[in-house]
Amino acid sequence: MKHQFIKAAAASPDIRVADPAYNAQKIVEIIQAQAKKGTELLVFPELSLCGYTCGELFLQKQLLDGCLSALLKVAASTKDLRMLVYVGLPVMHGTKLYNCAAAVANGRVLGLIPKRYLPNFGEYYEKRYFAPAPDEASTVLFGGNAVPLDRELLIHDLSEPEISVGCEICEDLWTGESPSIRHAKHGAVVIVNLSASNEVVGKREYRHKLLAAQARKNICAYIYADAGEGESTSDMIFSGNNILYESDTLLSESLPFGAGLAEGQIDAGYLLHERMRNTSYEPLADGPFHGPQRVSCDFLTDGEPTLSVDPSPFVPHTEAARKEQAELILNLQAHALARRLSATNAKTAVIGVSGGLDSTLALLVACRAADLLKRPRGDVLAVTMPGFGTSLKTKNSATALMQALGVGIRTVNISQTVLRHFKDIGHDPENTDVTYENAQARYRTMVLMDLANETGGLVIGTGDLSELALGWCTYNGDHMSMYAVNASVPKTLVKHLVLAEAERLGGRAEVVLKSVLSTEISPELLPTDQEGNIAQRTEDIIGPYELHDFYLYHFLRRGDTPAKTLCLAELAFAGKYDRATLKKWLVLFYRRFFSQQFKRNCMPDGVKVGPISLSPRADWRMPSDASAALWIEEAENL
C-alpha cells in the first residue's frame, strides 16, 4: 500500500467442527473476496481449519492429515495474490502436537508459529492435547518443502523490509510475558493474534483494554481474529469479535455475533516514526534485523489508501468528547496560569482583549485562574487598544465580554501614539506595509508590559499554536508575553474551547462569546472599510487554518512526508478543496514553518495541553536557519 499503509482484515468463517476441507473452502472464499478489496494482510481465528472445539478428535491422525491438506489448499489460493494470510491448525511434529498459526502467501506455506501458553483452567483444557511451543526453532517437511516451526518467526515484505509481522495465539496475549513483546522489540510493526475466546459477560470490554494497552506500549498495530459461528456450543459460545488497533486507536471491530469481519488500514509509517521518536522504546540488543527467523514474501501493493481521514485531528468527534476535552484543557491552562501567578506573586493578570478568538480564550482562562486562587475578577486587567483596523463589532464584543465576566477594564487608544511614532521614524502613514502593521502590534505589547509593571502583574499571551507554526505574529509584539496560555492550542481547537465555555457560562457571556465565534479571523492592523467592517482577513492571506492545523499535525505528530500529507488531505477534504488548492497551502505551510523558527526559539513559557508543542524547551528544537528545500521540493513536484 502506498505511503506504508497496510490494508488489513480479521475474519471469522462459518466453519464445521472437524471438517477441514469445508473450512478451507470457506476460508478460500473469504480470501478471494478480500483480494477484490485489495486486502494485504488477512487473519483467521485459532484452529480455524478444524475448529477450536474438536476435543479428543485433535488426537486423530485423520483430522491432522485433513488439516494439512486443507492448509495446502489455502496456500495455493494465494499464489497470484499480494496477500499474507494467517490460519490456525493442529500440527504434529516429532511426538508432540502443537496448536499452530500458519503464515501463507504467494502460493506457499511460509512458516508455522506454535502457541506458547496453553490455558488449562476453567473451561479450557488445551494441555490435554497440545504441547507448548518449544524453545528452539525447528524445520518441518511440509508439502515437499522445509518450513520453519518457530514461535518467534517474523514475516516481512520484500519491498518494505522494515515492515514485518509477528504472530501470537490467544492465551499468549493474556499472559504477563506475551510473545508479542519480543516480536515488537525485534521489529514487528504488526502483531496478529489467532484467537478462540469464548463470549461471556464483560469479556469484550476486557479484550479492548488489553489490546489497546498491548498495542500502545509496543507501538504496533494489533489484529485480533476471534472464533465465531460453527464452533460447538456444548459448553461455550464464540462470537467472532474481531478487533483492529493501531497503537491505542481502534481502527475497526466486528461486534459479537455480527458480520464476523473487521477491516481497516494500518499506518505502518506512523508506527515506525513513533518508535524512532520514542526513545523509551528500546529494541532487543541483537537489533531488528537479527535474532528470530525471518521469512520474506510479497504482500504489500502500490494501491492508494482509501481510509477515512479525520479533517480535524485536534478536535474530538462527538459532542460529549468535545465537552470533556474542553473542560480538561481549560483546567490545564487555568491551573498552569494560577501556579505562575502565585509563584511570581503577581497582583494582576494583564491581557490585551481584541474581541477576537485568541484573546477571548486567554481572558476566559485568566478568569478561571483567578477563581482558583480565590481572587477577585478585578485582578484580571483586560485592556482594549483600538487602532486603525479595529472594527466596531470587535470593539463592542471586547467591552461587552469584559463587563459580562466582571474583570478590570482599561481602554488605551493607540492611533495617535502610533502616528507620532510614524513621524519620528519618517514613515508615511498612507503606506500600509509591514511597518504600518507591526508598529501597532509592538506598541500594544509595550502598553501591556507597562501596565503590568504599574499593577505588579504579568502580561498573559494570547497567540495560539497555529500562529506560532506559521509565524503569524509580530516579533516582539504579540509574539511576546510573560506567560502564553494558548501556546499549544491550535486555532481549530480554540473555537471549540470558547464554545464550550460559552455554554458553561450561559447568560450574557454566552451571547457575547457566540458573537466572537461568528467574527472573521483578523489581526485588524489595516484600516476598516467605509462601513467600519474588517478589511484584513487572515485566511485569505495565509490559507484556511483547518488545512494548516491538519498539515501541522501530520508533519509534527505523525512524521508524514509532503506526498503522504497531500494524499491524506485529499481524502480528508474531498469535495471541499481541490488538489491544486491543497498543494498551494501545503507548500506555503512548509515555507512559513521553516522560515519562522526564530520566533519560536525565543517564545515565552506556556503550558503544553495537547499532543504537540512548539516550545524550544520542550517538544520542538530546530535551528532557525534550517533549510526547507527537501520538503518544498517534494511538495511542489506533487
Q: How far apart are the first and last CA of the chain?
A: 18
The pairing of strands 41-43 and 84-93 is parallel
In sequence order, the 6+-apart residues with CB closer than 8 A to the CB of 125 are: none
Is 170 a residue of the active site? yes
* Catalytic residue from among 67, 100, 170, 220: 170
Q: Are 309 and 340 in contact (CB under 8 A)?
A: no
Residue with cell 484600516: 527
Q: Are 270 and 558 in contact (CB under 8 A)?
A: yes
* Catalytic residue from among 26, 40, 46, 524: 46
Q: Are 236 and 198 in contact (CB under 8 A)?
A: yes
Residue with cell 473476496: 33
Cα–Cα nearest to 144, from 101, 106, 96, 108: 108
Strand partners for 581: none
Radius of gyration for the chain, computed over Cα atoms and rounded to the nearest angstrom: 30
How far lies 398's CA from each of 130, 327, 417, in Å? 74, 23, 21
Cα–Cα nearest to 436, from 444, 447, 427: 427
SS3 at position 290:
coil
Q: What does 308-345 look like in DSSP terms, one character per residue?
A: ---S-TTS-SSHHHHHHHHHHHHHHHHHHHHHHHHHTT
Strand runs labelled E in 126-174: 138-142, 145-149, 154-157, 164-169
* Catalytic residue from among 26, 115, 395, 564: 115
Q: What cell was used for 76?
A: 495455493
Strand partners for 188: 164
Largest CA distance in the chain: 100
Q: Which residue numbers are catalytic?
A: 46, 115, 170
